[in-house]
């Protein structure tokens, strides 16, 4: 039986460069850099998109760090590190749950809420900017397709 054709290194590279997964990763990194820059321009020089993602998974009444970690699909250790960073910046408080002393709850502060409100405005502005090169129909189709892909992967 003949061996299947082995692709050359440049062929493999070209395949990776044209990959939709790589394109999505590149788009995300561009969004992340633009968001972090926009936060800094609004006076949040010490805040990042990672902080926004954490706050997105936090209820105003408080959320278990393990639940935040699960929602972010990361480790409890990383969620704890991020929580301590947010706490040091005054964006959340961390407290032991009175119902279960083993549980630590993260709760946004007034400063954290103000940052989160700014972050929501930044997100809307950046999404509009990123989608502006597409026609309204193509932009709506892109958003719908991305949501569908995310929903399918979560099932």
Q: Is the pLDDT of residue 2 over 70?
A: no
User: What is the arithmetic mean of pLDDT over 7-24?
Assistant: 95
Domain 25-154 in this protein, CATH class: mainly alpha
- H or E stretch including 25? helix 20-41
pTM assigned to the model: 0.88
The whole-number pLDDT of residue 4 equals 76
Structural tokens at position 79: 């969620």
Q: Is the pLDDT of residue 155 over 80?
A: no
Q: Is the pLDDT of residue 153 over 90?
A: no
**pLDDT above 90: percentage of residues in the chain:** 89
- The pLDDT tens digits of the residues spanning 92-102 come to 999 998 889 99
Q: Rounded CA gap, 49 and 153, in Å? A: 22
- The pLDDT tens digits of the residues spanning 40-71 come to 999 999 999 999 999 999 999 999 999 999 99
User: Structural domain boundaries of the chain?
Assistant: 25-154
Q: Is the pLDDT of residue 1 over 80?
A: no
The whole-number pLDDT of residue 124 equals 98
Contact yes or no for 83/107 (Cβ under 8 A): no
Contact yes or no for 97/91 (Cβ under 8 A): no
Q: Rounded CA gap, 146 and 68, in Å? A: 23
Structural tokens at position 150: 């995310």
């Amino acid at each position: 039986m003949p061996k299947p054709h082995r692709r050359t290194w440049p062929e493999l590279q070209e395949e990776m460069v044209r990959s939709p997964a790589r394109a999505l990763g590149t788009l995300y990194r561009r969004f992340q850099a633009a968001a972090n820059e926009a936060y800094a321009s609004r006076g949040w020089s010490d805040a990042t998109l990672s902080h926004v993602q954490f706050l997105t998974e936090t209820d105003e009444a408080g959320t278990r760090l393990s639940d935040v970690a699960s929602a972010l699909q990361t480790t409890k250790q990383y969620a704890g590190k991020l929580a301590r960073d947010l706490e040091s910046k005054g964006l959340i408080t961390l407290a032991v749950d009175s119902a279960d002393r083993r549980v630590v709850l993260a709760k946004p502060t007034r400063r954290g809420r103000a940052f989160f409100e700014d972050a929501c405005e930044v997100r809307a502005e950046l999404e509009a900017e990123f989608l502006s090169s597409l026609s309204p129909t193509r932009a709506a189709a892109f958003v719908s397709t991305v949501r569908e892909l995310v929903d399918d992967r979560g099932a």
